[in-house]
């Protein structure tokens, strides 16, 4: 008989049992987290800023549900990464959902900002979207808690640098990066984008050069591989700052792999590239918060999109907190 005990590699119970918190973590108030909290998870079930198909409001619920598969109550060996993983010394709390005002994007943004700031004052925020507008208030909440300017690493099919739009005004899922650039907390000079392939404004190449943005397009990832693109992104985002915010729009992945998103664009990265990206980014000590957005589960009857999203966050957290 083998010396190892197979039961040590199992979850503490079936994944379909119990409350559906992220990684089966205990619940906690985001404004009253235990001092020893390492990771605080916040859901944002809001898609009032979308320009095409709604449904990202259901993302947090399904990401939590799928994350149960990756919950580890004891040490284990991840054959995908070749690492032993142990979260036993890591305190994770699920802080529930930020307050939502379904008819008011800006009021919802205020609630997100306050909630994420509360988490960031104690632990590492993991924010589950929700549409991509949430990155603006979440980023600001983290910067306010830390009292410093942040860089940005941004995995996405779209740039999200647009200004006001007749339908939504200034606050919608196409404007968060523009709104962040207008604050004292961040700017394009420390902003890296990876995976872009959507049709942008005609002057976008000139905009990138003038603003000091770093962009690795999806074609660069396909031509060079994900690793060198990430290294350049990290170098740019960490220039002159000590901390970096990571935002991951699931539509960075090709819709043949992850169709459950509101603005899909063909030609994206694949699942392996996303997981390897999240592993490498988890190793980056400068990253101080992460969000994953635009998962619209009801657009994907196969449930593959939310499963990949949960796997990506798990891979990131393993590399950042659980590696041995």
More confident residue, 123 or 82: 123
Average pLDDT of the residues in 139-163: 93
Q: Tens digits of per-residue pLDDT, 212-228?
A: 999 999 999 999 999 99
Q: What Cα–Cα distance (Å) separates residue 61 from each residue in 21, 56, 186?
A: 8, 10, 30
Judged by DSSP in three states, 140 sits in: helix
State the pLDDT at residue 17. Answer: 65
160 in Cβ contact with 50 (< 8 Å): no
pTM value > 0.75 = yes
Q: Chain-centre distance of CA 8, in angstroms?
A: 30
pLDDT at 12 over 60: no
pLDDT at 119 over 90: yes
Q: In the chain, count H helices and then E strands.
A: 9, 10
CATH code for the part of the protein at 6-322: 3.40.800.10
pLDDT at 158 over 70: yes
State the pLDDT at residue 8. Answer: 34
Q: How confident is the model at residue 84 (pLDDT cuts 50, 70, 90)?
A: confident
Average pLDDT of the residues in 172-201: 88
Q: Tens digits of per-residue pLDDT, 242-271?
A: 999 999 999 999 999 999 999 999 999 999
State the pLDDT at residue 164. Answer: 65
């Amino acid at each position: 008989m083998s010396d190892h005990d197979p039961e040590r590699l199992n979850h503490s119970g079936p994944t379909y049992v119990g409350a559906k918190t992220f990684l089966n973590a205990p619940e906690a108030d985001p404004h009253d987290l235990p001092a020893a909290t390492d990771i605080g998870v916040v859901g944002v079930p809001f898609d009032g800023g979308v320009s095409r198909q709604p449904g990202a409001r259901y993302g947090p619920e399904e990401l939590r549900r799928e994350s149960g598969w990756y919950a580890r109550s004891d040490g284990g060996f991840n054959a995908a990464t070749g690492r032993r993983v142990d979260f036993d010394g890591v305190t994770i709390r699920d802080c529930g959902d930020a307050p939502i005002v379904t008819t008011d994007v800006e009021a919802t943004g205020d609630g997100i900002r306050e909630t994420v700031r509360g988490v960031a004052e104690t632990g590492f925020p993991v924010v589950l979207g929700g549409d991509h507008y949430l990155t603006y208030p979440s980023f600001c909440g983290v910067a306010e808690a830390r009292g410093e300017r942040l860089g940005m690493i941004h995995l996405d099919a779209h740039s999200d640098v647009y200004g006001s739009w007749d339908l939504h005004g200034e606050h919608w899922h196409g404007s968060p990066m523009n709104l962040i650039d207008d604050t004292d907390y961040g700017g394009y000079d420390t902003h890296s984008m990876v995976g872009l392939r959507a049709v942008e404004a005609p002057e976008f190449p000139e905009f990138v050069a003038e603003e000091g943005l770093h962009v690795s397009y999806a074609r660069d990832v396909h031509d060079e591989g994900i690793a060198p693109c990430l290294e350049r992104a990290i170098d740019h985002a960490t220039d002159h700052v000590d901390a970096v915010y990571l935002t991951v729009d699931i539509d960075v992945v090709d819709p043949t792999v992850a169709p459950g998103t509101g603005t899909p664009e063909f030609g994206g990265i694949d699942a392996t590239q996303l997981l390897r990206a999240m592993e490498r980014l988890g190793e980056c000590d400068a990253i101080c918060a992460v969000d994953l957005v635009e998962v619209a589960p009801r657009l994907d009857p196969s449930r593959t999109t939310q499963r990949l999203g949960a796997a990506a966050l798990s891979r990131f957290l393993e590399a950042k907190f659980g590696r041995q």
